Structure 1
């Protein structure tokens, strides 16, 4: 009798299924660029449940190729 592979039944993130971090970063980007938004980077990170602002900034920069502050200042 064959044993199932150790990864059997697990699902892996694909481009079609973004990771929770990717979703939270997208929500933060939307909040930072919302009309009339005066969120600081630390507030945006905390509202999206990032406990460490530096981790939030690194992850944001990796996804959007700009820091959250640079992204918020971009013209729309």
Structure 2
């Protein structure tokens, strides 16, 4: 059940990061989950563990990390399309 909760929270945080910057994450739900998981990892490296915790994710660092990840992915995809 813990894995399911982690995937749900990661997906919601990844989706919310995409909504904040106004860019869609490729891959739909799976892309949102990946963005949330990688965002959690990246955010914890850059900002540490602080703020409210839900499902094993510290919300603020995870959200900031997911935003950074979505920006990087969208930049790479935009570059590849040209």
TM-score tier (shorter): 0.3 to 0.5
Higher fraction of helix: 2
Q: TM-score, normalised by structure 2?
A: 0.33
Bigger Rg over Cα: 1
Q: TM-score, normalised by structure 1?
A: 0.34
Q: Higher relative CO (CA 8 A, sep ≥ 6), structure 1 or 2?
A: 2
Higher fraction of strand: 2
